[in-house]
Amino acid sequence: MTARPLPRTDRRFTLLGAPYDGAATLGWPGSRYAPARIRAAMAWILQRREDGQIYCLDHATLHPFPEDLLVDGGDVHTVGHDLDATLDAARAGVADTLAAGRTPVLLGGDDCLLYPAARGLAESTPGTVAVIHLDAHLDLLDENEQQGRYSHSSGMRRASELANVDVSASVQLASRHFNFPSSLAFREKAGLRNIPAAEIHRRGTEAVAADVLAHVAAADRVLLAFDIDCIDPAHAPGAGAHEPGGLTSHQALDLVQRLAPYTDAMVLTEVNPLTDANDRTANLAAYLVAHFVVHGGLAAPSHEGAPA
């Protein structure tokens, strides 16, 4: 049997918003409006709960969904002119949620928020942390004049520098097209694995998810970092940047279903209502969160065809 982390069971989740896009120095700003739009879309999904259960048509199973399975913890304290204060508030929100015995789901905002999510998880465990990073881009930029050190292009680089983040147990998924040669050099030196979108299309999500779980099994805790631009803009037009050739909405949802039981926190970033079309991307983001909670929370009956 392929090695994988132990599934996390009997969990409860807290939704946190981080309405901040001050580090979106490239692409389109506007992701500060995403938490509100994703929450509105979540209401459409959550009204389907009945008697503490919800029915998943994908696998023909009833899942437990008590009232406290997912609660809204509000927004972390964001300061529009102060990146450092915002990053620290996001870190504290993730850490405080974990200290309360709940699993955080942080909604950005731009992708600078990957770093404080990783830091909040890393500082909350004595063991090691792996990052599963779904993104069209590598986000390994160290520093430059226009973007500084903590922009949406540097989240994974800064996370990799945390003392107990195990870079060699981490993996990036769905990257594509072009990036900085310096980022390639860092990735190779650090031993950070990359599975580009083209490989996911060739191999399929079931095989890739099993491969990812075997890879991150070397770490004690796992962060699922999901930049919405890992999805093709045909399926997610409301993003900070458009990179063709990405995941389909089905592939993204299937990966989240398969990975959710083995991860300890989620950060979802770069949904941009200003470039969205009739809230299609915010709605997809809400379903990604819902599947993370439903498939990563309380145990459901086993069934043929379920993510394994």
pTM here is: 0.95
**Which amino acid is residue 306, in one-letter code?**
A
Taking residues 94-111, what's their average pLDDT?
97
pLDDT digits (tens, 9 = 90+) for 147-196: 778 898 899 999 999 999 999 999 999 999 999 899 999 999 999 999 99
pLDDT at 299 over 80: no
pLDDT digits (tens, 9 = 90+) for 188-218: 999 999 999 999 999 999 999 999 999 999 9
CA–CA separation, 287 and 306 (whole Å) = 17
Q: What is the mean pLDDT of the chain?
A: 94
Domains, the chain, ranges and CATH? 13-296 (3.40.800.10)
CA–CA separation, 185 and 159 (whole Å) = 17
**Which amino acid is residue 208, in one-letter code?**
V
Element of type H or E holding 193: strand 193-195
pLDDT at 60 over 50: yes
Taking residues 220-247, what's their average pLDDT?
97
